[in-house]
Copies of this chain bind each other. A is one copy, B any other.
Amino acid sequence: MEGDHEVISARRLESFSDGVMAVIITLMAFELRPPGGVAWTAIEHRLPNLLVYVLSFTAIAIYWVNHHHLLRATTSISGAVMWANLVLLFWLSLVPFATQWVADAYRATAPAVAYGLVAVGSAVAYFVLGRTVLRANHHDRVLARALAVDVKGALSVVIYLVGIALAFVTPYLMYACAAAVSAMWIVPDRRLTGRRARG
């Protein structure tokens, strides 16, 4: 009975997180307001907007995929896991705000730094969530995955921090760092999960 409740609990955690991430993605896309004109030059002005949307969409997508893998291997949801998850959702909910500011003023330092801070906050929150799940689940599969996440998670935080520092040189280096973190997560993940699906 208790075990059954825990499974429902893990799934409600997932479904709530999915809801928040689904709304984040769609609201961000929604902010891609129609260009003020009807000429092709009008859409050119929207291009940076579109690019930063792609960057943020990719980041949220990566969090969704990894969140999914993390909770799939989870059997026990403690109160600490629920709160760590809510802190992650808090940081992710700031992504549209940061995205919009960068879209409005992508050549300035302040929006790039704000984007980097939200990225660091999210990465640290995901790192903490991973460790909290690890503490609540004591079997090998979670352990192995959590360790792998630990290394990449810590590296993400470092790259984002470097990006924030470099934003004071030029904001484009911050965006490059964010893109690098996304590439680091997508590439091996695809290989790993592909192999598991077959094995």
Closest to A34 in B: B101
Q: Would you call B136 and A197 a contact (CB within 8 A)?
A: yes
**Count of identical protomers in the assembly:** 4
Residue A166, interface by CB 8 Å: no
Closest to A41 in B: B110
Residues of A within 8 A of B (CB-CB), count: 72
Q: Which residues of B contact A189 (CB under 8 A)?
A: 79
Docked complex Cα distance between A90 and B23 (Å): 13
Closest to A6 in B: B197
Q: Would you call A93 and B19 a contact (CB within 8 A)?
A: no
Closest to A79 in B: B193
Q: Which residues of B contact A108 (CB under 8 A)?
A: 38
Q: Which of A80-88, A123-131, A173-181 forms contacts with chain B?
A: A80-88
Q: Would you call B193 and A93 a contact (CB within 8 A)?
A: no
Q: When the two chains form the complex, which single residue of B5, B20, B100 contacts A34, counting CB atoms closer than 8 Å?
A: B100
Tell me how far the C-beta of A184 lies from the nearest C-beta in chain B, rounded to whole angstroms.
Answer: 15
Given A43-B110, A80-B190, do A100 and B38 touch, yes or no (CB 8 Å)?
A: no
Residue A147, interface by CB 8 Å: no
Q: When the two chains form the complex, which single residue of B11, B93, B104 contacts A29, counting CB atoms closer than 8 Å?
A: B93
Q: Which residues of B contact A30 (CB under 8 A)?
A: 27, 96-97
Q: When the two chains form the complex, which single residue of B14, B24, B100, B111 contacts A12, counting CB atoms closer than 8 Å?
A: B14
Q: Would you call B29 and A26 a contact (CB within 8 A)?
A: no
Closest to A90 in B: B57
Q: Would you call B101 and A86 a contact (CB within 8 A)?
A: no
22 A-B pairs (CB sep. < 8 Å): A5-B72, A8-B11, A8-B72, A9-B68, A26-B96, A30-B97, A32-B94, A34-B104, A34-B111, A35-B101, A38-B108, A38-B109, A42-B110, A57-B93, A65-B86, A79-B190, A79-B194, A80-B193, A82-B193, A83-B186, A83-B190, A136-B197
